[in-house]
Copies of this chain bind each other. A is one copy, B any other.
Amino acid sequence: MPATIRDVAKRAGVGVATVSRVLNNSGLVSERARQTVMQAVAELNYVPNPTARRLSLGKTFTVAVIVPFFTRPSFVERLRGIDSVFADSRYDMIVFNVESVQKRDKYLAEVPRPDRADGVIVVTLTPNDTQAQAFKTSGVPVVLVDTHHTELPSVMEDSVLGGRIATGHLIELGHRKIAYVSDVLDDVFSATAASLYRFKGYQQALEVAGIELRDDYLKHGRHSRAEAHRCALELFALPDPPTAVFAASDTQAIGVMEAARDAGLRVPDDVSVIGYDDLDVAGYLELTTVRQSLFESGQRGAQLLLNAIDGQLIEPVRESIPVELIVRKSCRRIEDAA
The residues of A with any CB-CB pair to B shorter than 8 Å are: 1-2, 47, 49-52, 54-55, 60, 70-71, 73, 76-77, 79-80, 83, 87, 92-97, 103, 110, 113-116, 139, 225, 251, 254-255, 257-258, 280-281, 283-284
Q: Which DSSP category, helix, strand, loop or mixed, fits chain A's interface? A: helix
Q: A116, B225: Cβ atoms under 8 Å?
A: no
Min distance, Cβ A270 to any Cβ of chain B, angstroms = 18
Q: How far is the CA of A254 from the CA of B279 in the complex (A)?
A: 13
Q: B281, A116: Cβ atoms under 8 Å?
A: no
- Given A47-B113, A115-B49, residue A94 in contact with residue B97 (CB < 8 A): no
Q: A1-B114, A51-B51, A70-B79 are in contact. List 6 more A-B contacts (CB 8 A).
A: A47-B113, A51-B115, A70-B76, A71-B76, A225-B280, A254-B281
- Select which of B97, B139, B284 is within 8 A of A225 by beta carbon: B284
Q: Can you name the residue of chain B whose Cβ is closest to the Cβ of A4?
A: B115
Q: A50, B115: Cβ atoms under 8 Å?
A: yes
Q: A95, B97: Cβ atoms under 8 Å?
A: no
Q: How far is the CA of A97 from the CA of B116 in the complex (A)?
A: 22
Q: B83, A77: Cβ atoms under 8 Å?
A: no
Q: List 18 A-B contacts (CB under 8 A).
A: A47-B110, A47-B113, A47-B115, A50-B115, A51-B60, A55-B55, A70-B76, A70-B79, A70-B83, A71-B77, A76-B76, A83-B97, A87-B96, A87-B103, A93-B94, A93-B95, A225-B283, A281-B281
Q: Hey, which chain B residues are within 8 Å of A80, CB to CB?
A: 70-71, 97
Q: How far is the CA of A116 from the CA of B96 in the complex (A)?
A: 19
Min distance, Cβ A92 to any Cβ of chain B, angstroms = 5
- Select which of B83, B97, B114, B254 is within 8 A of A2 by beta carbon: B114
Q: B97, A87: Cβ atoms under 8 Å?
A: yes
Q: Can you name the residue of chain B whose Cβ is closest to the Cβ of A65?
A: B95
Q: Hey, which chain B residues are within 8 Å of A258, CB to CB?
A: 284
Q: How far is the CA of A52 from the CA of B114 in the complex (A)?
A: 13
Q: B115, A2: Cβ atoms under 8 Å?
A: yes
Q: A116, B70: Cβ atoms under 8 Å?
A: no
Min distance, Cβ A309 to any Cβ of chain B, angstroms = 15
Q: Hey, which chain B residues are within 8 Å of A257, CB to CB?
A: 284
Q: A116, B50: Cβ atoms under 8 Å?
A: yes
Q: Hey, which chain B residues are within 8 Å of A284, CB to CB?
A: 225, 254-255, 257-258
Q: How far is the CA of A60 from the CA of B70 in the complex (A)?
A: 25
Q: B113, A2: Cβ atoms under 8 Å?
A: yes
Q: Can you name the residue of chain B whose Cβ is closest to the Cβ of A64?
A: B92
Min distance, Cβ A285 to any Cβ of chain B, angstroms = 8
Q: Can you name the residue of chain B whose Cβ is closest to the Cβ of A92?
A: B94
Q: Hey, which chain B residues are within 8 Å of A70, CB to CB?
A: 76, 79-80, 83
Q: How far is the CA of A113 from the CA of B93 in the complex (A)?
A: 18
Q: How far is the CA of A79 from the CA of B95 in the complex (A)?
A: 11
Q: Can you name the residue of chain B whose Cβ is closest to the Cβ of A116?
A: B50
Q: How far is the CA of A96 from the CA of B93 in the complex (A)?
A: 9
Q: Hey, which chain B residues are within 8 Å of A97, CB to CB?
A: 80, 83, 87
Q: Can you name the residue of chain B whose Cβ is closest to the Cβ of A280?
A: B225
Min distance, Cβ A299 to any Cβ of chain B, angstroms = 14
Q: How far is the CA of A182 from the CA of B95 in the complex (A)?
A: 31
Min distance, Cβ A213 to any Cβ of chain B, angstroms = 30
